[in-house]
Amino acid sequence: MSWTDERVETLKRMWSEGQSASAIAKELGGVTRNAVIGKVHRLGLSNRNDEPEPAPVPAPEPAIGSGAEKKIDRKPAPAAEPARPEPQPEVAAVPADPVKEEPVTPPVFTPVPRRPIVPAGQPLPPQPSANEISPETLASVREVEKRAKKLTLMELTERTCKWPIGDPATEKFWFCGLPSQAGKPYCDAHVSVAFQPMSSRRDRRR
DNA sequence: CCCTGATTCGC
DNA sequence: GCGAATCAGG
């Protein structure tokens, strides 16, 4: 394979889209990711940084006192552990006195961390229902889920378990992420609840 | 381990 | 110019 104009164009496009070298190589075919990276460099488009330069660190200028400061003695600074803020409960504190309360927030767009919107009636992630899975298997799954890697959607790969755990409407939601069975989307435990032979499924009413 | 990009260097 | 091998890192 050679770098025809068309192939180079595809390379440029995908690279600018942020695609990985391996993904591009896969798309093009006949080349390895090394070849792609090599070409990328030769084309001089290695810098995918169109970012507006991450602000040259606004050095927190200490307020200059009126008196002429002598020296700025830098302590070795024993690296004081940054105080870890305890995770606050999500419930916003309700003003004790709504009448006296000053309007703290202007009626403009408030960048309150939005949570994923799940339409009403959206079925929850598949959860092994007790009447279809044996108690043993169910217990096994529960146990496995304690060790879930808790991956986000973007962290899933072809070989991570994609079984959803929790309620997508809340923060307590993630994907299992344990090693998936070869060729399957789930890990062993979740495969066992996800794929059931018709025979065992049939007639398991109540 | 899986993956990423960066670099080198013989071809 | 090309890209495998290698390096460095997450």
| Alpha carbons A149 and A174: distance in angstroms, whole number | 9
Domain residue ranges of chain A, discontinuous segments joined by +: 5-43, 135-201
Per-residue confidence of chain A (206 residues) as pLDDT tens digits?
899 999 999 999 999 888 899 989 999 989 999 999 999 999 998 876 544 444 444 444 444 444 444 343 444 434 333 444 434 444 444 444 444 444 444 344 444 445 555 555 555 555 655 557 777 788 778 878 877 878 888 778 878 889 998 888 887 888 888 878 877 889 888 888 888 777 666 665 54
| Rounded Cα–Cα distance for residues A128 and A32 (Å) | 42
CA-wise closest residue to A31 among A4, A67, A50, A71: A4
d(C-alpha A204, C-alpha A196), whole Å: 12
**Subset of residues 7-36 in chain A with CB less than 7 angstroms from any atom in strand C:** 31-32, 34-35
For the full predicted model, state whether its pTM sits above 0.75. no
Q: Which nucleotide is nearest to A34 (CA to C1')?
A: C3
A23 touches strand B (CB under 7 A): yes
A18 touches strand B (CB under 7 A): no
Does any strand C atom come closer than 7 Å to the Cβ of A37? yes
A106-131 as b/e: b if 16+ CB within 10 A: eeeeeeeeeeeeeeeeeeeeebbeee
Record the tokens describing residue A196, joined without a space. 């059931």
